[in-house]
């Protein structure tokens, strides 16, 4: 990884090289589930017009890397009905259209590959965020069987997952590898493995959910074994000139759970098999939502995780979580606390966040990077507000 310095240009607006892929800047739009891949076709999980419009505005808004939401590697691995998938070749064309569009507007297209494990078969957040039930069946969205490291439900009232055996694990490693190859076929330049927020790979890592007694549980090495097998298989399938990220929950925020020290050791192992960037989130193991644990939230509350892992594991990191404006993002990069910064909800509120963040540092009259079709109008507006004549 290397930054391409430009005199007088903020770090948040400077190019960043990852293997053979160069981002126009180190601002990333995080994967955000849309629960909207419902098309009534022969296969579920197909991207549609909602996804094109939703993601396209981030590319036009100046982000260097735009991630497509968590995309299931098996049908059983969906979090909710309407999740995107890459378990079937018929899901490739819709995602190819998105990857092509993102690249045309200057953003590097990325995709996150995951499996929900015991948190699968749940309702969309605005429909209750609980396990699928009678109302969902009436809508034509019945539940499906869930799986995990151990037969421990995610919360009271949730289904008990089936424990995955070794044949299941081998099949899932292959499912991740196959999904990565489909993502490559679709034109994505960056892939990320979802190892966070209480989903399947995190369920193997955390001692709160993985109480196996075989080689895939027990001590730290056993609990890391399956996630590392997945990472190694995807890295082998993913081209050597394209970067691979892993999103982790740096801590469970719960006594007896996964810790930052665990994350440092796990990140060293990931770096050893060729993972390029550790995406440092947290939480999600306790309860259903990623915010169920008592988390001390404040601006940049997860940045120390990225800083510690970057320093102690010797791997590039991405900071995420309540990064609110340009000066804050610039300071994170300038001070060497992370190599990239990611925004999610802030980008939803303002898809032009990367461009506005630059303006906060260089002046409201700086329209560098804006699409010509918008920058021309906005520069004229700025002159008008300054009471200048055309």
pLDDT at 133: 94
Q: Kindly report, residue by residue over 128-161, the tens digit of the pLDDT.
A: 999 999 999 999 999 999 999 999 999 999 999 9
Q: Is residue 382 part of a domain?
A: no
Strand partners, 29: 66, 343
CB atoms within 10 A of CB 216: 20
Strand partners, 316: 277
CB atoms within 10 A of CB 108: 25
Contact criterion met (CB below 8 Å) for 277 and 339: yes
Q: Is residue 370 part of a domain?
A: no
Residue 121, both tokens: 């078969």
CB atoms within 10 A of CB 15: 16
Q: Is residue 362 part of a domain?
A: no
Name the nearest CA neighbour of 181 among 254, 220, 234.
234
Contact criterion met (CB below 8 Å) for 357 and 326: yes
Q: Is residue 106 part of a domain?
A: yes
Residue 105, both tokens: 């507007």
199 is catalytic: yes
Strand partners, 72: 85, 114
Measure the CA angle with vertex 385, ends 382 and 388; round to 5°. Answer: 85
Q: Catalytic pick from 105, 199, 238, 266?
A: 199
Name the nearest CA neighbour of 86 among 196, 193, 164.
193
Q: Kindly report, residue by residue over 227-283, the tens digit of the pLDDT.
A: 999 999 999 999 999 999 999 999 999 999 999 999 999 999 999 999 999 999 999
CA distance 89 to 168: 21
Q: Is residue 377 part of a domain?
A: no
How many structural domains does the chain have? 1
Handedness of CA 154, 160, 162, 163 (dihedral sign): positive
CA distance 99 to 109: 5
Task: Classify residue 299 by burial, with Cβ atoms within 10 Å: 0-12, 13-18, 19+.
Answer: exposed
- Indicate the pTM of the whole model: 0.94
> In which residue ranges of the chain is pLDDT below 70?
1-5, 7, 40, 288-293, 382-390
CA distance 75 to 283: 25
Domain with 187 in it: 21-351
CA distance 175 to 377: 48
Q: Is residue 149 part of a domain?
A: yes
- CATH number, residue 53: 3.20.20.70
Q: Is residue 4 part of a domain?
A: no
Q: Is residue 39 part of a domain?
A: yes
pLDDT at 179: 98
pLDDT at 386: 63
Name the nearest CA neighbour of 341 among 33, 122, 28.
28
């Amino acid at each position: 990884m290397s930054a391409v310095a430009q005199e007088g240009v903020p770090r948040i607006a400077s190019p960043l090289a990852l293997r053979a892929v160069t981002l126009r800047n180190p601002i990333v739009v995080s994967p955000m589930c849309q629960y909207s891949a419902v098309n009534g076709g022969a296969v579920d999980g197909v991207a549609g017009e909602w996804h094109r419009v939703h993601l396209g505005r981030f590319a036009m808004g100046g982000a260097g890397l735009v991630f497509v939401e968590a995309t299931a590697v098996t049908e059983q691995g969906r979090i909710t009905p309407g999740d995107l998938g890459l378990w079937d070749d018929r899901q490739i064309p819709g995602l190819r259209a998105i990857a092509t569009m993102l690249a045309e507007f200057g953003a590097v297209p990325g995709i996150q590959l995951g499996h929900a494990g015991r948190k699968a078969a749940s309702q969309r957040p605005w429909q209750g965020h609980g396990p699928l039930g009678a109302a969902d069946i009436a809508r034509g969205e019945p539940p499906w069987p869930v799986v995990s490291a151990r037969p421990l439900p995610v919360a009271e009232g949730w289904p008990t997952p089936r424990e995955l055996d070794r044949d299941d694990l081998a099949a899932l490693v292959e499912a991740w590898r196959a999904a990565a190859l489909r993502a490559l076929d679709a034109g994505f330049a960056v892939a990320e493995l979802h190892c966070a927020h209480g989903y399947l790979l995190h369920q193997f890592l955390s001692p709160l959910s993985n109480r196996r007694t075989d080689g895939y549980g027990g001590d730290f090495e056993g609990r890391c074994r399956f996630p590392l097998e997945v990472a190694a298989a995807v890295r082998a399938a993913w081209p050597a000139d394209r970067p691979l990220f892993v999103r982790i929950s740096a801590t469970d925020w719960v006594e007896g759970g996964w810790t930052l020290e665990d994350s440092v050791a796990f990140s060293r192992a990931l770096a050893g098999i060729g993972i390029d960037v550790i995406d440092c989130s947290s939480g999600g193991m306790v309860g259903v939502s990623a915010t169920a644990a008592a988390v001390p939230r404040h601006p940049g509350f997860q940045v120390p995780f990225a800083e510690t892992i970057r320093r102690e594991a010797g791997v590039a990191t991405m900071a995420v979580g309540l990064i609110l404006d340009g000066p804050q993002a610039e300071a994170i990069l300038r001070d060497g606390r992370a190599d990239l910064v990611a925004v999610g909800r802030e980008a939803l509120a303002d898809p032009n966040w990367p461009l506005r963040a630059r303006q906060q540092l260089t002046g409201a009259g700086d329209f560098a990077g804006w699409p010509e079709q918008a920058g021309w109008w906005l520069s004229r507006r700025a002159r008008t507000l300054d009471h200048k004549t055309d």
